[in-house]
Amino acid sequence: GEGEKDPRLIGTWRYESYYSSSSSGYSSGNFSSTSIRYMVFQPDGTFRSGSRLFASTDAVTADTGEDPGEHGRWSAGDGKLYLMWDDGSYAEHGYYIEGQPGSQKMLLKPTNGSKDQLWEQAQ
C-alpha cells in the first residue's frame, strides 16, 4: 500500500455531484448546483486536486471557475489510496477500479465515514 503506485490511477479523475431544490411560497424559486472535483495523479507520486462549482437560481447563474487546487503526494496498493497534501493533511481511502483504460470508473470509499464516491477517468 503505502509507497506503492497503482498504475491504473495515473491520469485525471473527475467526480460530479448535483443538487436541486424547489420551493413555494413568498420566497419561491429554484436552486441548483453542480460541483465538479478532480484529481490528477502523476507517475512520480505527486498529485493535485481541485474543484469548480456551478450554481443557478431563477434569476442568477454563478461559476466559481476552476480553483488553483492543492498539491501533494500519493501512493496506492492493496485497495488503499493514501493522499498527503503539502500542508501536512492526510487522507486514506479504500478504492476499487473497473473498466478499460481511458474509460475506467473508480469507487472511492473514504475511511472517515463520508459517503462513497464514484469517480470517472477524464479524457
Q: Where are the alpha helices (DSSP H) in 1-123?
A: none
Q: Compute the residue count for the chain.
A: 123
What value does the mean pLDDT take over residues 2-15? 90
Q: Which pLDDT score, from 0 to 100, does residue 2 have?
A: 57
Question: pTM of the entire structure?
Answer: 0.80
d(CA 15, CA 35): 8
Q: Which pLDDT score, from 0 to 100, does residue 31 have?
A: 86
Tens-place pLDDT, residues 23-77: 655 555 788 999 999 999 999 999 999 999 999 988 888 888 877 789 999 999 8
